[in-house]
Structure 1
Amino acid sequence: MRTQAEEKFSDYFEKWVCRLEEYCHQLHSASRETSITEQELRALVSKLTAHHKEYYTAKWAAAAAAVGGGGDDFFAFFSPPWSSPLENAYSWLTGWKPSTAFRVLEALRAQGGTFVAEDQMKRLEQLRAKIRLEEERVERVMERQQVGVAERRMVELARLAGRRGEAAVTAAAGGQVDVLVDAAIKGLATGLERIMKAADCVRLKTLKGVLDELSPAQSVEFLAAISALQVQLRRWGKRRQSQVEHRSRETASSSRKRRAL
Structure 2
Amino acid sequence: MSITPPRTVGRSNNNVRSFENFLQGWLVRQEHYLEELRCTLSTSHQSKDEDLRDLISRVLFHYQQYYEEKSRIAKHDVFLVFSPPWFSPFERSFFWIAGVKPGLAFRVVGSSVEDMSEEQVERMEKLKAETRAEEKELGDELARIQEGLAAPPVFEVARRVAVEEECGEMDSVMETLRVEMESVLANADMLRTRTAEKVAKILTAVQDVKFLAALTELQLKIRMWGSHLSR
What is the TM-score of this pair, normalised by structure 1? 0.80
Give the corresponding residue for 1:70.
Answer: none
Give the corresponding residue for 2:116.
Answer: 116
Give the corresponding residue for 2:33.
Answer: 23
Choose which of 86, 92, 95 in structure 2 pairs with 1:88.
92
Please tell me the root mean square deviation across aligned C-alpha atoms, in Å: 1.5
Whichever residue aligns with residue 61 of structure 2, its letter is: A
Whichever residue aligns with residue 223 of structure 1, its letter is: L
Whether 1:178 aligns to 2:188 is no
**Residue deviations 1:159-187, cap 9 Å, x none?**
2133x1xxxxxxxxx2x533322332222
Whichever residue aligns with residue 102 of structure 1, its letter is: F
Choose which of 71, 76, 93 in structure 1 pairs with 2:80.
76
Q: Secondary structure at 2:230's aligned position in 1?
A: helix
Give the corresponding residue for 2:196.
Answer: 207
The answer as to whether partners of 2:73 and 2:81 remain within 8 angstroms in 1 is no
Q: Structure 1 residue 125: deviation in Å?
A: 0.3
Residues in 2 aligned to 1:191 and 1:48: alpha-carbon distance in whole angstroms: 31
| Bigger Cα displacement from structure 2, 129-138 vs 151-160 | 151-160
Residues in 2 aligned to 1:149 and 1:189: alpha-carbon distance in whole angstroms: 12
Residues 1-261 of structure 1: matches in 2 within 5 Å? 3-33=13-43, 34-64=45-75, 66=76, 73-109=77-113, 114-162=114-162, 164=163, 174=164, 176-242=165-231
The answer as to whether partners of 1:31 and 1:221 remain within 8 angstroms in 2 is yes
Give the corresponding residue for 1:259.
Answer: none
The answer as to whether partners of 1:86 and 1:237 remain within 8 angstroms in 2 is yes
Whichever residue aligns with residue 207 of structure 1, its letter is: A
The answer as to whether partners of 2:74 and 2:80 remain within 8 angstroms in 1 is no
Residues in 2 aligned to 1:127 and 1:74: alpha-carbon distance in whole angstroms: 29
Whichever residue aligns with residue 137 of structure 2, its letter is: R
Residues in 2 aligned to 1:218 and 1:77: alpha-carbon distance in whole angstroms: 33
The answer as to whether partners of 1:108 and 1:115 remain within 8 angstroms in 2 is no
Q: Structure 1 residue 15: deviation in Å?
A: 1.5
Q: Secondary structure at 1:96's aligned position in 2?
A: coil
- Unmatched 5+ residue regions in structure 1? 67-72, 165-173, 243-261
What is the TM-score of this pair, normalised by structure 2? 0.90
Q: Structure 1 residue 208: deviation in Å?
A: 1.0
Q: Structure 1 residue 39: deviation in Å?
A: 1.2
Whichever residue aligns with residue 123 of structure 1, its letter is: R
Q: Structure 1 residue 96: deviation in Å?
A: 1.1
- Unmatched 5+ residue regions in structure 2? 1-8
Q: Structure 1 residue 238: deviation in Å?
A: 0.9
The answer as to whether partners of 1:101 and 1:226 remain within 8 angstroms in 2 is yes
Residues in 2 aligned to 1:151 and 1:10: alpha-carbon distance in whole angstroms: 35
Identity of aligned residues (%): 31
**Residue deviations 1:39-72, cap 9 Å, x none?**
11111000011111111122112211x1xxxxxx
Whichever residue aligns with residue 25 of structure 2, its letter is: K
**Residue deviations 1:219-261, cap 9 Å, x none?**
011000011111110011011112xxxxxxxxxxxxxxxxxxx
